[in-house]
Structure 1
Amino acid sequence: MSEKVSFPAKDGSAATGEIVLPKQGGKAPAVVLIQEWWGLNDHIRALLDRLGAAGFIALAPDLYHGKTTRDATEANRLMTELDKARALDEIAGAVRFLAAHERSNGKVGVMGFCMGGALSFAAAATIPELAAAVPFYGVPSPAPDYSRVKAPILAHFAARDGWATPAAAEAIRQELTARGQPMELHVYDADHAFANDTRPEVYNADAARLAWDRSIAFLRQHLA
């Protein structure tokens, strides 16, 4: 079960979120989990629990500051109105908070879904402390300066996605590859949000399981 937590954003102002610690003792790797456009809801809490069970300290910043919704129109409004610079400041603060956490081994990655996937790419380009990034079906707009990316990236996209298209993901991969920056890209025979098991109309159990297993292995490799 996650617990509420407060931490300073990059600019020193107050930020909040929810955190889960692994049950096993000793130092552990850490992951910042970035919400979908619905907000920090029970689905994100379930993902925090899964990361904790896999042995990670996991923190989800509350980028909507207490707001959640189940309505797509409202979710789109919340995402559109989000101050992305402020959100990245809060994500950067979460990274630093986890790096210094008493249970942390000092290595921090980021994982995000939908809007959070787009912010994961942006975080990789703006937060040099990150050791790994795992975006799910999200592309930032406008594009960040990918020349600043240092962390290895594992990206998951859906073949039938008109918002975060495989072509857009491939363009990012090619740009990074041209600079010698590794990005592993997987495209699944699935729809946008295929990993969200609270949405039966798009959930794809096989693709979700494979993407999750790949993500955990990738994070363990780069955050050890």
Structure 2
Amino acid sequence: MTTMVAFSLGNAGQMKGALSEPPGSGKVGGLVVVHEWHGLNEVMRAHCQQFAQAGFLALAPDLYHGKLAENDEEAAKLIGAFDFQKAVGELGHAVGYLRSHPRCNGRVAVAGFCLGGALTLAAARYVRPALEAAVPFYGLPRIAPEEFARVKTPICGHYAKVDDWANPSVAEEIQKAARSGGGEMDLYVYDAGHAFMRSTDSSKFEPKSAALAWQRTVEFLHTHIG
């Protein structure tokens, strides 16, 4: 079941998000699901539900605060006014909300798509206390790859061979830096294009790559957050 919840942003008020709880009543790992540049739409809600069915307490925060893009043109306008650094801070509050949730075992990861993938990597670098895991899908932040030599959060990255937005060669540089600093980063590059997980878009969705990425993600998350 998915419900809308509100959580504190400290002195900055509140933020809403879609929360999906897994079956049963036991404690499970928490997962912040970060939306694409279109916002918290039905695709992202569906991802939350999928993660919940896989056994995680999944929260998708509304980083656009009620705004939603119906197409790429509208999304580009929203991105033009988007405060990336502020959003990383908001993700930190979302992580804190999950850590304190009665269903959470205290271990929290972040997974994100497109814009959310970039924010996921930024959260792995800057959110404190550190995340237990991070799973970026085809997104890259404007952070020098060498900065990830400081990241000890385990990362599982999913990227596409044909992608004008998130070049997998940059992801490889991030992986190299993370490993050089003693961190852990698995990196998978698929024979697909950008947004290959977006099941509602037949021009983007690549079912074989999506299924494999999903399997790898669930296994990775169960290993690191229970």
Helix, strand or coil: the match of 2:213?
helix
CA distance in 1, matches of 2:179, 2:80: 30
Unaligned ranges ≥5, structure 2: none
Does the Cα contact within 8 Å between 2:89 and 2:127 map onto a contact in 1? no
| Residue number in structure 2 paired with 1:141 | 142
Q: TM-score, with normalisation over the residues of structure 1?
A: 0.96
Match for 2:54: what amino acid? A
Distance 1:143 1:91 in 2: 20
- The structural deviation recorded for 1:188 is 0.2
Q: Which runs of 4+ in 1 moved over 6 A?
A: none
Q: Is the 8 A contact 1:19 1:60 kept in 2?
A: yes
Identity of aligned residues (%): 43
Q: Name the structure 2 match of 1:194.
A: 196
For 1:113, the equivalent position in structure 2 comes to 113
Once the 2 structures are TM-superposed, how far is the Cα of residue 163 of structure 1 from its aligned partner?
A: 1.1
Q: How many residues align?
A: 224
Query: 2-side partners of 1:3 and 1:55: how far apart?
Result: 17
Q: How far is the alpha carbon of 1:11 from its aligned partner? A: 5.1
Q: Displacement of 1:10 after TM fit?
A: 5.6
Q: CA deviation at 1:146?
A: 2.1
1:171 alignment counterpart? 173
Shift of 1:14: 1.4
Alignment of 1:70-149 (within 5 A): 70-128=70-128, 129-143=130-144, 145-149=147-151
Which secondary structure does the structure 1 equivalent of 2:192 belong to? strand
Deviations 1:110-143, CA, capped at 9 Å, x for gaps: 0000000000000000113310000000000144
- Which structure 1 residue ranges, 5 or more long, are not aligned? none
User: Alpha carbon RMSD of aligned pairs, Å?
Assistant: 1.3
SS of the aligned residue for 1:162 comes to coil
TM-score, length-scaled by structure 2: 0.95
